[in-house]
Amino acid sequence: MLSDWMYIGIFMLLSVFLPAVAIVIAGILGPKKPSPIKNSTYECGIETVGETWVQFKAQYYVYALVFLVFDVETIFLYPWALAYNQQTFFMVTEAILFILILLGGLIYAIRKGVLEWQ
């Protein structure tokens, strides 16, 4: 069990390490001639105006909120799905009730117009 995760740990280190090495090598090989014009922000050749981190649409935030609810509740279903073969009909019905509540939440969100992109 622990050794399984050790493998994943090694894999994670290597999969970050190899691309990083490639970038470092490319940095050594490539020319380095920075200039103020070259280093300016690229916005199709037009001078950039004001702050970059502007206010953005609240719509994105609402989607993130709905996503959070659904993703977490779906993760709850995984233990149920894993034990599906050992379950009785009654247990499955309970899970279906849970999903129906989830679906009710989705329909509520749709009817409220939260998921309408304006």
Partner 1 sequence: MPNFWSDPFGFLIQWFNNLLLGWGLPGGTVQFIAYVVGAFILVAGSLFFCLLLIWAERKIGGRVQDRLGPNRVGPFGLVQAVADMLKIFTKEFVTPDGVDKVVYNLAPIMSVAAVILLWAVIPFTITFYGNDLNVGVLYLVAVGGLADLSIVMAGWSSNNKFALLGAFRAVAQLISYEVPLVISLLLPVMLSGSMKLNEIVRAQDVPFIVTAPIAAAIFFISSIAENGRAPFDLMEAESEIVAGFNVEYSGLKFGFFFVGDFLHAFTIAMLFSVLFLGGWRGPGADQIPILGFVYMMIKTSIMYFLGLLVRFSLPRFRIDQMMNINWKMLTPIALGAVMATAFVDKATANVLATTTPVLGVILRTLILLVTNGMVLWVASDLMGSVLTRKERRVVALEARPVARPEPPAAPIEPTEGEVS
- What is the 3-state secondary structure of 17-35? HHHHHHHHHHHHHCCCCCC
Q: Considering only residues 79-108, where is the footprint of partner 1 by CB under 8 A?
A: 81-89, 92-93, 95-96, 99-100, 102-103, 106-107
Q: Considering only residues 57-76, where is the footprint of partner 1 by CB under 8 A?
A: 57, 59-60, 63-64, 66-67, 70-71, 74-75
For partner 1, which residue of 47, 54, 111, 113 counts as binding (CB under 8 A)?
Answer: 54
- Using DSSP, how many helices (H) and how many strands (E) does the chain show? 3, 0
Burial of 62 (C-beta count, 10 Å sphere; 0-12/13-18/19+): middle
For partner 1, which residue of 31, 55, 58, 112 counts as binding (CB under 8 A)?
Answer: 31
For partner 1, which residue of 27, 111, 112, 113 counts as binding (CB under 8 A)?
Answer: 27
